[in-house]
Each structure stands twice: as C-alpha cells, then as structure tokens.
C-alpha cells in the first residue's frame, strides 16, 4: 500500500459548485464512503478499503475528509446535476 496514491485519486476532492469529471469518475467511491460512514466503519478502514491509501500516510486523513465532504455534497446537491 505505502504512501503513494492510486492513479486517479487526488489528495483533495473538487470543491466546485458544479459536478466535475472527477466526481463522475469517483461516484462509486463517494457512495461507498457514505455507506461506510453510515455503517460506522473507521476512517482508517475507509482509507484502506475504499480510497486504497495508507491511513498513516501524510495527508491521508485530510484526503478522506475531503472526499467525504464531497460525497456529502454530491448526495445533497450535486446529484441534481447528473
């Protein structure tokens, strides 16, 4: 696993007011993150299983927070644009 991020995963999710190509490409990850949070999965486990990053790597927790925030935005507002 290591500290390298998988291809295509940004350290920070978009914050645009519109749905981006990145959002469309990572919609499944967003859904999985929301489901995992609702099920009580730990942040470390979400990093490993969904984002495929080492939760102890520098910036990993910020990456998780960023993607969870974007997933929440997609589920409350962004979905209307799809």
How do residues 26-57 score in pLDDT, each as one tens digit? 999 999 999 999 999 999 999 999 999 999 99
Confidence (pTM): 0.91
| 23 CB neighbour count, 10 Å cutoff | 22
How do residues 10-29 score in pLDDT, each as one tens digit? 999 999 999 999 999 999 99
Between helices 60-76 and 27-38, what is the axis angle to 10°?
100
**DSSP assignment letter at 57:** S
């Amino acid at each position: 696993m290591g500290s390298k991020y998988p291809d295509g995963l940004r350290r920070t999710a978009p914050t645009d007011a519109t749905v981006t190509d990145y959002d469309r490409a990572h919609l499944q990850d967003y859904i999985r993150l929301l489901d995992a949070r609702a099920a009580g999965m730990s942040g470390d486990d979400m990093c490993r299983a969904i984002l495929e990053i080492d939760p102890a790597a520098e910036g990993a927790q910020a990456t998780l927070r960023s993607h969870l925030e974007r997933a929440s935005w997609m589920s409350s507002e962004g979905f209307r644009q799809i």
